[in-house]
Structure 1
Amino acid sequence: MKASRKPLLVAGLAVASAAALALSGCSGGGSNNGSSGGNDRGPITYVQGKDNNNLIRPIIAEWNAAHPKEKVNFKEQSDQADQQHDDLVQHFQAKSTDYDVVSVDVIWTAEFAAKGWLQPLKGAYKIDTSKMLPATVKAGTYGGTLYTAPWVTDGGLLYYRSDLVKTPPTTWDEMMQDCSIAKQHNIGCYAGQYADYEGLTVNVAEAINSAGGTIVGKDGKTPTLDTPEAKKGLQSLVDAFKDGNIPQEALTYQEEQGRQAFEAGKLLFLRNWPYVYSLAKTDGSSTVKNTFAVAPLPGIDGPGASSLGGHNIAVSAYSKHKATAVDFIKFMESEKIQREAVTKASNAPALASLYSDATLNQQLPYLSTLKKSLDTAVPRPVSPFYPAITKAIEDDSFAALKGQTSVDQALSDMQKAIKTAGSGS
């Protein structure tokens, strides 16, 4: 999941994904059950961002052939995630019945659910999530209730030069020790996404979570950054910049800049999303086609905690045909369709069993490693105040990485900003 303000197209063969900054963040209150006993059937409209891989249209055609009285109309949004978000908000605020099933970035779930815009997936509208990756189910849950169904997901991976590092590091300290290899070859050691944008929140959250810390409590609004674990996580990044293990130019890196540096042979290690794998293998300009491999992100005592990416699918609270909408979601989550999403668009599936599929692993060699990443993945703060939270993380951690403020002060400032947002001040 490429964490920028660009479209979210998850993982894979030249498919970049992106998480976007949700723009509105006040709590609205309550949920809208909108239930009519499960008999509300008829034509529906499915809404998502640009279908660059022509994945969705054939899926909808397959559904429509089998359900002539409950056909799905596809509303294709722009390829800009912030525009997708605003389009959904506009229709929700108007209580429009035009949108029935919508694609929801995982970081929008709490915002939309808190405002009562999504149909709770319970009762007559319950879906079976027992075969889905637990992290994807958690990302779709708000206040103990599932509001968005797992669809496609994403997690961070560690790319490394396998010609220079025979055994990938499993801990942060091991990776920092391996930076001596980078110095011997006159290349940078490690980089992630450290520009002042949503990707920085992803990387800082990974550092804090991997160190055993958290950003907010289970209520989604109480900050929890005044802990030794949170400090250790952010401090590890600050120290790596200070001693040069993360090059200064990484302060300008979003996903693409890091990918290009790694493909050019300028980095020993890179934290990025799975979409990089295929490009590094196939780009004409890539100098590492046959000299890199992937591993889980390193943590304190073993694999770290990746930030979870991806899009889920939800039913609008204002849909007139919710029973059909839920059935369509179940169809989208079926093994057949999930497999199509993997093979045709290289989307990382939410269905756990596909990650051990031998044929898929032969086609997409990073799948089994990605599964390890997703097993320990942690969603970014599930909060209706997410826009304010991510802004605080971006602004204050960026200042710390640049050496303009101390780690203690940065965490204190984040704590205050998140507390203010959560209080509605």
Structure 2
Amino acid sequence: MKPTRLAAVAGIAVIGLALAGCSGSSSSGSGGGDAASGQDSRGPITYVQGKDNSNVVRPLVAKWNAAHPSEKVTFKEQSDQADQQHDDLVQHFQAKDANYDVVDVDVVWTAEFAAKGWLTPLTGKMKIDTSKLLPSTVATATYNKTLFAAPQTSDGGLLYYRSDLIKTPPTTWDEMMADCDIAKQAGIGCYAGQFAKYEGLTVNTAEAINGAGGSILAKDGVTPTVDTAAAKKGLQNLVDAFKDGNIPAEAITYQEEQGRTAFEAGKLLFLRNWPYVYSLAKTDGSSTVKDTFGIAPLPGDTGIGASTLGGHNAAISVYSKHKATAHDFLEFLESNETQSFFATQGSLAPVVASLYSDPTLVEKLPYLPVLLKSIQSAVPRPVSPFYPAVTGAIQDNAYAALKGSKTVDQALKDMQAAIKAAG
């Protein structure tokens, strides 16, 4: 279960609420599906999700199937690329495919899919209990004041560091850049994140801007605010780090997995990535840092930075013929037992608030308190039916700045105009 797939609600405001009047009915839209159809029907269903990197999904599906022999779940595994996962879902929704019953939805896709009438509102017979969940996760599954998905896993960016080389992790960006001298002495790269031109670059750019005191959107949730001094400082930090080698040149091609394997191979002092890396770095046979890495919050301008809120939600397609079974499967995914398994098997961030202080879990996963801080201080990406255009504007211009084909000033000016046009 790849977290970026492609991950406290503050900062980047919610476009979706401002644009809700354009979307028509909350239960149907351009998709033409019938949300009410099949709500009492039970039978086999298919669950669609990205690549199961940590072998989390298959054991859960097997457990469900053993208890529900007449309502078995078939796991349809997508690629490990968030953009490809998104396009695959869109194609099947447009084809009104009844075989995509429950789909794993990146938090930034909820509004887009709900506005197009592809997701079954979780109201009435489909209602689920969200009282035990982290409020920020519920917000990511809500569009036009209606819950359209079940929060499944949350996510917050973390700073992985070599604890054998750094005794105290940096709390500010400048401190981290100063520590790069240690990396040079050790003959390894200093810092990497996700800088290839895809959704991960939107995440990393947003963290750089928010961490420097800037923002992507104003509080009205509509007006872009990237053409500012604070936003410039954030993006400039990344550009300067590439120029002086503190971010290795090859990191311009990094997505999550490339950064993870580089860190596990001992080639990096610092890595920005998601919680799933913890489990793999501890257990991979090829990992050279099993006992020599630590985890800290992302550094910001004057202290702890602003992670981008990540995570995934499980939604029921309006075209599903067995929505009653699909509904029960959502509740199964949100159970404390399943959420604990997500954490221990795949080091995925649970959505059940109480698990972050569960003594047994914290003993197994000592990073949980740090992760909770990351999630609580996280800033969500824009929630918008037009999100593909918004993230495209961020990616195109940030990448141009990192490559040096645009100045930071020009990149932010163009980003501002493109985000405005997207809405």
TM-score, reference length from structure 2: 0.84
* Secondary structure, counterpart of 1:107 in structure 2: coil
Q: What is aligned with 1:55?
A: 59
Judge which range, 49-58 or 169-178, deviates more: 49-58
Give distance in 2, aligned partners of 1:253 and 1:97: 36
Q: What is aligned with 2:27?
A: 32
Contact persistence 2:149–2:313 (CA under 8 A): yes
After superposition, where does 1:266-415 map in structure 2 within 5 Å? 266-415=267-416
After superposition, where does 1:141-220 map in structure 2 within 5 Å? 141-216=142-217
Among all aligned residue pairs of Structure 1 and Structure 2, give the percentage whose two residues are the same amino acid.
66
Q: What is aligned with 1:13?
A: none
Q: What is aligned with 1:118?
A: 119
Contact persistence 1:173–1:300 (CA under 8 A): yes
Give distance in 2, aligned partners of 1:28 and 1:225: 27
CA RMSD of aligned residues (A): 2.9
Contact persistence 1:135–1:377 (CA under 8 A): no
Residue 202 of structure 1: how far off its partner (Å): 1.4
Residue 385 of structure 1: how far off its partner (Å): 1.7
Give distance in 2, aligned partners of 1:39 and 1:185: 60
Summarize deviations over 1:282-327 as a string: whole Å, max 9, x none: 4454443332211111122322222233221112233455454333
Q: What is aligned with 2:239?
A: 238
CA 1:386/1:371 → structure 2, altered by over 3 Å: closer, same or farther? same
Give distance in 1, aligned partners of 2:330 and 2:286: 40
Contact persistence 1:59–1:337 (CA under 8 A): no
Q: What is aligned with 1:23?
A: none
Judge which range, 28-37 or 53-62, deviates more: 28-37
* Secondary structure, counterpart of 1:401 in structure 2: helix
Contact persistence 1:31–1:115 (CA under 8 A): no
Give distance in 2, aligned partners of 1:157 and 1:134: 20
Amino acid across the alignment from 2:272: R
Residue 249 of structure 1: how far off its partner (Å): 2.8
Summarize deviations over 1:110-146 as a string: whole Å, max 9, x none: 2101111112223443322222123322221223322
CA 1:181/1:36 → structure 2, altered by over 3 Å: closer, same or farther? closer
Summarize deviations over 1:221-278 as a string: whole Å, max 9, x none: 5423223332222122122223333233322322233233333433221112223323
CA 1:278/1:408 → structure 2, altered by over 3 Å: closer, same or farther? same
Summarize deviations over 1:396-419 as a string: whole Å, max 9, x none: 111112222221210111112222
Give distance in 2, aligned partners of 1:122 and 1:355: 28
Alignment partner of 1:9 out of 2, 7, 19: 2
Q: Say whether 1:79 aligns with 2:79.
A: yes
Give distance in 2, aligned partners of 1:178 and 1:57: 45
* Secondary structure, counterpart of 1:311 in structure 2: strand
Give distance in 2, aligned partners of 1:384 and 1:270: 32
Summarize deviations over 1:13-50 as a string: whole Å, max 9, x none: xxxx6429xxxxxx864421656599634225242135
Q: What is aligned with 2:14?
A: none
Q: Structure 1 unaligned runs (5+)?
A: 1-7, 11-16, 21-26
Contact persistence 1:40–1:320 (CA under 8 A): no
Give distance in 2, aligned partners of 1:255 and 1:149: 25
CA 1:87/1:394 → structure 2, altered by over 3 Å: closer, same or farther? closer
Give distance in 1, aligned partners of 2:289 and 2:259: 14
Give distance in 2, aligned partners of 1:51 and 1:181: 36
Summarize deviations over 1:166-195 as a string: whole Å, max 9, x none: 111122222223233334444332221222
CA 1:218/1:74 → structure 2, altered by over 3 Å: closer, same or farther? farther
Q: How many residue pairs end up in the alignment?
A: 399
Give distance in 2, aligned partners of 1:274 and 1:383: 26
Give distance in 1, aligned partners of 2:48 and 2:402: 36
Residue 386 of structure 1: how far off its partner (Å): 1.8
Residue 51 of structure 1: how far off its partner (Å): 5.1
Residue 218 of structure 1: how far off its partner (Å): 6.7
Residue 98 of structure 1: how far off its partner (Å): 4.0
TM-score, reference length from structure 1: 0.83
CA 1:178/1:387 → structure 2, altered by over 3 Å: closer, same or farther? same
Give distance in 2, aligned partners of 1:184 and 1:294: 22
Contact persistence 2:171–2:297 (CA under 8 A): yes
Amino acid across the alignment from 2:152: W
Give distance in 1, aligned partners of 2:372 and 2:212: 20
Q: What is aligned with 1:93?
A: 94
* Secondary structure, counterpart of 1:173 in structure 2: helix
* Secondary structure, counterpart of 1:348 in structure 2: coil
* Secondary structure, counterpart of 1:271 in structure 2: strand
Amino acid across the alignment from 1:45: I
Contact persistence 2:190–2:269 (CA under 8 A): yes
CA 1:263/1:324 → structure 2, altered by over 3 Å: closer, same or farther? closer
Amino acid across the alignment from 2:64: I
Q: What is aligned with 2:68?
A: 64
* Secondary structure, counterpart of 1:55 in structure 2: helix
Give distance in 2, aligned partners of 1:143 and 1:213: 27
Summarize deviations over 1:358-378 as a string: whole Å, max 9, x none: 222333333332222222222
Q: Structure 2 unaligned runs (5+)?
A: 8-21, 29-33
Contact persistence 2:48–2:100 (CA under 8 A): no
